[in-house]
Amino acid sequence: MTAVLTLLSILLLLGLLVHGRWSAAVLFSLWAAAYFLFGLIDETTLLSSYANPALATLILLLLVSLALERSVLLERTTQRLLSGREAFATLKLMGVASAFSAFLNNSAVVGTLLGSISRQKAIPASRLLIPLSYASILGGVTTLVGTSTNLVVNSFAVSSHLPPIGMFQLAWVGVPVALACIAVLAFSARWLPRNASDARDSAQPYFLEARVSQSSPLAGLSIEANRLRHLDGLFLLEIERGGRLISPVGPDEVLEVDDVLLFTGEVTRFQALQHFQGLEVFGTRSDALLKANLVEVIISSESELANKTLRDMDFRTMFDAGVVGIRRGDRRLTGQLGRVPLKTGDSLLLAVGADFAQHRNLDRNFHVLGDSLVRPHLSGRQSALALGGFGLVIAASASGLLGLLPGLMLLMAVFLATRLLTLAELRRRFPFELLMVIGSALALAKGLEASGAAQLVADAMRQAFDGHGVYGALIGVYLLTLVLTELVTNNAAAALAFPIALATARAFGVDPTAFVMVVAYGASACFLVPFGYQTHLMVMSPGHYRVTDFFRAGLPVSLTYSVVVLTLTPIFFPLTVG
């Protein structure tokens, strides 16, 4: 009975993760606490999950990467990538992005290239950004440090007393997978749209809301009389009045005090609203707000703004900026924008004050598009020190001379001593949410094992694949992980799939290495749906993509990825009796 209830609790957790109202950190922490309170895990197991050596390695790697992502090397390399024919430029971009992503954080690679690709005019950004996001995933599956997901799986392996994953152990399958998928992607990229970022008829405009203030001369007059019907580059989409929506808005509609007007249109046209007295944009006079400098930003995966509304926070105090408009891919936002929960990947149009660039929380919350407000790069000498030191740590770990954890600790000490990193920056960018998710997930895995829930699923999978043997079960575990990573985040998918994979391998009495590997590969196989992977969300709005664009370009990549993984994994990691 305990096993069944535990399994039902995991299904409930999965449903809440898919729903997305609560963050993964909150849900995993609550579930870990519940497992402790109900006696599925003891205090020692709970606390040791957050002190796992592999988890400490992951945290250190992410912090060290804060210095690496400021290197001038990636930025300078990008400037040479987009020359020549489009197909060749796309291929070069994917090759370089995958190579860097094998050793650097995927989000850092995409974030560094995102601004320059969005600004250049030679090739439409929409033809490049999905290939960039996919290539960062493909590079990440070739090394242990290529993506946090690999290190998460390694954390589970170490916690389960299995041999840790080697630095380049994933490359036996990861490199052929990356090469095959890049070749397929070079072909499928031709199906991507040519969305001009500055087109007047862009399918993904910004949305802006303006409120008619108490003293506004607009109140009592019709839309036609207020000259709001024929604005250049702007369209009055709907009016919210007393909790109801008026849409479409007719020319004879008379405005009332406290009406909320929702406009849609181009970034460069919003200044037209500053000429209308008595309009407030997100609580600020439109004439004051729209005379400020306008900056476009994308909400990052680490942002504290995710799942919050603009009404929930004092945005102007936090960033010395006011929100002018919001854009979310191809989705039409409706109602009061101040009450719309913000999501990772949303584009915000900000009217910024003089102190905006000096705020220390910008890097954590936003990817800034445009030439201004660029983070200071490391000098050539500093870049050489940062990249050289990181290369030495990777080489020492791969050769067995020095473990990855002590190597990263030494490198962190060097970075702090040379001021490449500061304690203040580490405090600002410390990945608390990831620590809570992975630490709690390790505790959940112990609870699944102790309750018998993992064994229950493993027995069911063994019966389901009884006629196909252990290889059929391996395919089943991979497909389970693949479906999970499309529904929830990649790290959450790995956390949910790993205990099932391990129990399945033990049920068949085989070496669990192949099952561990397909969880690592499957958890990164997010190519069809943009909401499960942070780099997809980062490129969605700048590329003006629809969800169908990801599916159309990603389906052949996903099929190729799966075929190569399931073909090569049993070859390089044989399913021998353990």
Please state which of the ranges 71-85, 298-312, 355-369, 546-560 shows the lowest mean pLDDT: 71-85
We report the CATH number of the domain holding residue 219 as 3.30.70.1450
Please answer whether residues 191 and 552 qualify as being in contact, where contact means their C-beta atoms are separated by less than 8 angstroms.
Answer: yes
Residue 337 pLDDT > 60, yes or no?
A: yes
Measured distance between the N- and C-terminal CA atoms of the chain, rounded to whole angstroms: 30
Q: Is residue 237 part of a domain?
A: yes
Please answer whether residues 578 and 505 qualify as being in contact, where contact means their C-beta atoms are separated by less than 8 angstroms.
Answer: yes
Mean pLDDT over each residue of the chain, to the nearest integer: 82
Q: Is residue 363 part of a domain?
A: yes
Q: Read off the pLDDT of each residue in 314-319 and give the average, rounded to a whole number.
A: 79
Give residue 215's region: left, alpha or beta (phi > 0; psi -120 to 50). Answer: alpha
Q: Which of 334, 330, 345, 369 is nearest to 205 (CA)?
A: 330
| % of the chain surpassing 90 pLDDT | 16
pLDDT digits (tens, 9 = 90+) for 350-364: 877 767 776 767 777
pLDDT digits (tens, 9 = 90+) for 169-180: 999 999 999 999
pLDDT digits (tens, 9 = 90+) for 197-222: 543 334 356 778 888 888 888 888 88
So what's the pLDDT on residue 228? 83
Q: Read off the pLDDT of each residue in 449-460 and give the average, rounded to a whole number.
A: 80
- Interatomic CA distance for residues 152 and 150, integer angstroms: 5
So what's the pLDDT on residue 330? 60
Please report, as a single letter, which amino acid is at residue 25: A
Please report, as a single letter, which amino acid is at residue 355: D
Residue 535 pLDDT > 60, yes or no?
A: yes
So what's the pLDDT on residue 288? 61
Residue 390 pLDDT > 60, yes or no?
A: yes
Q: CB burial class (10 A; 0-12, 13-18, 19+) of residue 357?
A: middle
Please state which of the ranges 48-52, 201-205, 496-500 shows the lowest mean pLDDT: 201-205
pLDDT band at 566 (very low <50, low <70, confident <90, very high): very high
Residue 371 pLDDT > 60, yes or no?
A: no
Between these two residues, 266 and 427, which has the higher pLDDT value? 427
Q: Read off the pLDDT of each residue in 523-547 and give the average, rounded to a whole number.
A: 82
Tokens 């990636």: give the residue: 74
Residue 555 pLDDT > 70, yes or no?
A: yes
Q: Read off the pLDDT of each residue in 401-405 and give the average, rounded to a whole number.
A: 86
Q: Is residue 268 part of a domain?
A: yes
Please answer whether residues 522 and 485 qualify as being in contact, where contact means their C-beta atoms are separated by less than 8 angstroms.
Answer: yes
Q: Is residue 297 part of a domain?
A: yes
Q: Read off the pLDDT of each residue in 267-289 and give the average, rounded to a whole number.
A: 70
Note the residue count of the chain: 578
- Interatomic CA distance for residues 574 and 471, integer angstroms: 10
Q: Is residue 64 part of a domain?
A: no
* Tokens read off for 230: 């024929």
- Interatomic CA distance for residues 190 and 196, integer angstroms: 15
Q: Which of 275, 290, 294, 433 is nearest to 350 (CA)?
A: 294
- Interatomic CA distance for residues 171 and 547, integer angstroms: 30
Instruction: Give how far Cα 13 sits from Cα of 42, 441, 504, Å.
Output: 21, 11, 21
* Tokens read off for 328: 């979310």
Please tell me the total count of domains within the chain.
1
- Interatomic CA distance for residues 125 and 114, integer angstroms: 9
pLDDT band at 291 (very low <50, low <70, confident <90, very high): low
Q: Is residue 319 part of a domain?
A: yes
So what's the pLDDT on residue 275? 74
Mean pLDDT is highest, among 4-18, 19-33, 335-349, 505-519, for 505-519
Q: Is residue 254 part of a domain?
A: yes
So what's the pLDDT on residue 457? 77
- 3-state SS, 449-477, equals HHHCHHHHHHHHHHHHCCCCHHHHHHHHH
So what's the pLDDT on residue 334? 64
Segments forming the whole domain that contains residue 219: 206-369
**Among the residues of 244-366, which ranges form H helices?**
286-289, 315-319, 362-365
> pTM of the full predicted structure?
0.74
Instruction: Identify each DSSP E strand in 347-486 by its residue range.
Output: 347-352, 366-369
